Amino acid sequence: MNISKIATLAGVSNATVSRFLNNGYVSQENREKIQKIIDETGYIPSAHAQTLRTKKTNLIGVILPKISSEAVSRIIEGAGKELTEAGYHILLGNTDLNIQKEIEYLNIFKNNQVDGIIFVATILTPAHLEVMEKIKVPIIVVGQQVEGYSCVYHDDFGAAYTLTKEFIQKGCKRIGYIGVTEKDIAVGYERKRGFMQALQDSGMEVQQELIKIGDFSEESGYQAINELMQLDKRIDGVFCATDKIAVGALEWMKEKQPEQIERIKFAGIGDSVLAKAISPKLASMHYYYKTSGKEAAKMLLDAMQSETKMIKEVKLGYELKLRESFK
């Protein structure tokens, strides 16, 4: 079923049907005839033919590292709502933590396959930037601050700084740190920087041996805390760059040294559902993931409308959630 058949059935030309569909001038009489045929046939215009003609796809490419992550799914949830309301659909680009795939998706989306891109980034390499340069549709980066692109991210430095100050204020003297690779500017570099800066500003020495770098898994938290506890039994605080890492660390404590768990303060970042569910309840920094998705979508919608390529950065705050692990 296509527009010509509808036109024939309604006794008008396809141009009139097209005008009817796109709010052009059509007589009341013809409006009714056409509507009747459309209702009867259940006709829906071919989005692909429309795209070919108008250059507008109504599609937004969303590139993300891992769909089964609480943060990421929240971001999509927020972005999706906003985009759907504006008449756009989401084309998914799940890279499964594979950096090469990120570049592949950027390339796939490049040639007008989508009207805009939301890129939930982790590690940005020069290769990424090179491809991104060539893309004509607007790109909004989520989760990382990146020069030359509109982005929405959390204040990782500030969150880590504030959280570390909290450790210090509560009297912690020897605080361990478990983080991730600094190639991830937001989670790895900025959070660690906030941690170290807060120590320095409080006149405390940064002890490099108490800084452990793992990956994003619970296991890496489990292993890192083990190393930390062997290194220095007087540790009285453990700053984990993510909640997941903290959960792993707490798991180790509960298994191996349950008598110490009350003495040592633990905190993560992200305020996941896990943080609230485990025992002791994990202190964490609440991040507004859904809002960040929503904000990114709004920025993208703006960018797609305007002619000028104005760059806008949105830095979202955080909220301290002190819980049992931080008494």
Partner DNA sequence: TTGTACGCGTTATCAC
Partner DNA sequence: GTGATAACGCGTACAA
Select the span of 23-31, 85-93, 214-222, 302-310 touching DNA (CB under 7 A).
Answer: 23-31
CA distance 83 to 91: 11
Please, which residue, 115 or 184, has the CB nearer to a copy of itself?
115
- Is residue 30 within the footprint of DNA (CB under 7 A)? yes
* Residue 29 in contact with DNA, rule: CB under 7 A: yes
Beta bridge partners of 268: 284
The pair of structure tokens assigned to 227 is 């190393």
Outline where 42-69 has alpha helix (H).
47-54
Q: For residue 42, with 0-12 CB atoms within 10 Å meaning exposed, 13-18 middle and 19 or more buried, which class applies?
A: exposed
Q: 196: how many CB neighbours lie within 10 A of its CB?
A: 18
Residue 40 touches a copy of itself, criterion: CB under 8 A: no
Q: Can residue 101 be called a binding residue for DNA (CB under 7 A)?
A: no
> Residue 154 Cβ, how far from a copy of itself at the closest point, in Å?
17
Minimum distance of a copy of itself from residue 303's CB (angstroms):
20
ω into residue 138 within 30 of 0, thus cis?
no
96 binds a copy of itself (CB under 8 A): yes
80 contact choice in DNA, a copy of itself, none (CB below 5 to 8 Å, kind-dependent):
a copy of itself
291 binds a copy of itself (CB under 8 A): no
Largest Cα span, the chain: 87
DSSP per residue, 73-121: HHHHHHHHHHHHHTT-EEEEEE-TT-HHHHHHHHHHHHTTTSSEEEEE-
Spacing of C-alpha 248 from chain mean position: 23
**What binding mask, one character per residue, do residues 3-22 give for DNA by CB under 7 A, x or -?**
xx-------xxxxx-xx-xx
> Contact positions toward a copy of itself, by CB under 8 A?
1, 42-49, 51-52, 57, 59, 62, 66-70, 73-74, 76-77, 80-81, 84, 89-94, 96, 107-108, 110-113, 134, 247, 273-274, 277-279
> Contact positions toward DNA, by CB under 7 A?
2-4, 12-16, 18-19, 21-22, 24-27, 29-30, 45-46, 49-50, 52-54
